[in-house]
Amino acid sequence: MKALLLENVHSVAASSLQEAGFDVETRAGALGEAELTAALRDVDLLGIRSTTQVTRAALAANPHLLAVGAFCIGTNQVDLEAAASLAIPVFNAPFSNTRSVVELVIAEIIVMARRLTEKDRRLHDGVWDKQAKGSHEIRGRKLGIVGYGNIGSQLSVIAEMLGMDVYFYDISDKLALGNATRCGSLEELLDIAECVTLHVDGNDANAGFFGPEQFARMRPRSLFLNLSRGFVVDYGALRNNLLSGHIAGAAVDVFPNEPKKLGDPFSSPLQGIPNVVLTPHVGGSTEEAQEDIGRFVAGKLRDYTNLGTTTLSVNLPTLTLSHSPGEIRLAHLHANTPGVLATVNALMADFGVNIDGQMLATRGNYGYVVTDVGEDIADPVLEAIRAMPETRRLRIIR
């Protein structure tokens, strides 16, 4: 079996899959739709990061693909519904680079509060600019976190340890950690916070949700950070507010249109503005995080291939069933309609197949049943299950 890993996925992922028996091809950059479609023709597992767009067309042209691994937090670059309809589970790493992102946020808040980028530039220009004007401590400042998930909540704890007063807003009812204060609306948070940082997901509904109205609502001379998704912010509006002085500084790590590979040209309306920190989507790009992500996602791909385990799949039912050596496993992804399990079991009973273990999980329009038997299964049984109108994919794992 063959795995294709794109976008400089950490080498530990290739090593893990090679040890599991895969022929692994690695490529440094991202691929466009046509290139990806062609590259997947003889590939069983695909690994990407945040740039490659795994579209419905690319998946439909390669329905033999077994699974996709997103070696990052987000999965909005993958058409999850198209993958689910083709019985292709998608796995990601929702926790592995949380700490890396949080540390960068803290660092950038300090850099902006102390106006270090400007001090650095002036020294490089040969100007000694030793003065405290415009330089502030972050202790006692009010931090507003928009999105209180894995990253936002950990940021909350660390920022409070540094003496910041933490406020947060999330559309879900989240438990406040430490002394953080939950805001009932985004507007309430913007009225309070002196520094606003976004940590929302890649849901299409979040596109452009932070624009001129929200920047105008922010307190004068506030700081702004976006390390979530590029398309959630109107960067033209941010530029205007920075040039007017309403926003005192900004740190941006994500952009609506990002280059596909190292060295490609980049442009943004935020370039050249004082006290603006621009980073090339490196929030989770530490060696520690990338190694952990490589190991974690490669493990999910391996376990799905070898055991049928779908734990932490983002688009299909999640299921784990212990597997004993010598048993034969049937992994059946199907449409979630009543009676599928009964039909499968009746077919096995008709052919005298004894079931050693079985588990069913459902999620939305799809169901997944894993069945272990202690003896080989006759082809007529497999043909009958494959012929069921609900069947999306039947795999035999020995």
Q: Is 35 a catalytic residue?
A: no
CA angle 195–151–317, rounded 5-degree value:
145
Residue 248 Cα distances to 93, 164, 194, 215, 275, angstroms: 34, 18, 10, 12, 7
Choice among 10, 49, 115, 281 that is catalytic? 281
Bridge-based pairing of strands 276-278 and 247-252 is parallel
Residue carrying structure tokens 């506030």: 222
Write the DSSP assignment of 112-174 as a string of letters.
Answer: HHTTHHHHHHHHHTT------TT---STT-EEEEE--SHHHHHHHHHHHHTTPEEEEE-SS--
Residue 368 in contact with residue 331, Cβ under 8 Å?
A: yes
Number of residues in the chain: 398
What's the CA gap between 106 and 111, in Å, rounded? 9
Q: Is 17 exposed, middle or buried (0-12, 13-18, 19+ CB in 10 A)?
A: buried
Residue 385 Cα distances to 5, 56, 352, 393, angstroms: 33, 26, 15, 10
**Is the CA virtual torsion 107, 110, 112, 116 positive or negative?**
negative
Choice among 199, 229, 302, 329 that is catalytic? 229
**Is the CA virtual torsion 197, 203, 205, 211 positive or negative?**
positive
Choice among 25, 188, 258, 291 that is catalytic? 258
Q: Is 258 a catalytic residue?
A: yes
Q: Is 281 a catalytic residue?
A: yes
Through-space distance between the first and last CA atoms of the chain, rounded to whole angstroms: 15
Question: Which residues have a catalytic role annotated?
Answer: 229, 258, 281
